[in-house]
Amino acid sequence: MTRPAKLSAQQLEQELSSLPNWTMENGKLHRQYQFKDFVEAFGFMARAALVAESMNHHPEWSNVYRTVTVDLTTHDASGITSLDIQLAKKMDELAG
């Protein structure tokens, strides 16, 4: 399967405008989600894991109690690709 190419700076800027809660941090898309409690946070991670697996594109993430921290990048493209944008949008939908 051919992986998508790294987005240009202009493409990335345009895509970020549709992801208001995401920022760039250390060359990766970055966001922290806050949930009501640990169970809600873990449930989000379980749902997002199924989506990530179906895309064959996996986040760098961590969970501390009710906070889930996510970083997205496409390692084999050495930067942000359309896969990262798609996963970020899906995660936002799942977080409600």
Give the Cβ contact number of residue 38 at 10 Å.
13
Strand partners of residue 72 = 29
Position 1 scores a pLDDT of 58
Q: What's the whole-model pTM score?
A: 0.93
Amino acid at 81: T
Q: Across the chain, what does the average pLDDT equal?
A: 95
Which tokens sit at 58?
Answer: 């996996």
Domain boundaries, the chain: 24-95
Q: Report pLDDT digits (tens) over 30-74.
A: 999 999 999 999 999 999 999 999 999 999 999 999 999 999 999
CATH of 24-95, one of 3.40.50.300, 1.10.10.10, 2.40.37.10, 3.30.1360.20: 3.30.1360.20
Position 3 scores a pLDDT of 76
Instruction: Please report, for residues 13, 39, 46, 79, 83, the alpha-carbon distance to residue 10 in angstroms, rounded to integers and kept in the order given.
Output: 5, 38, 33, 14, 17
DSSP label at residue 64? E
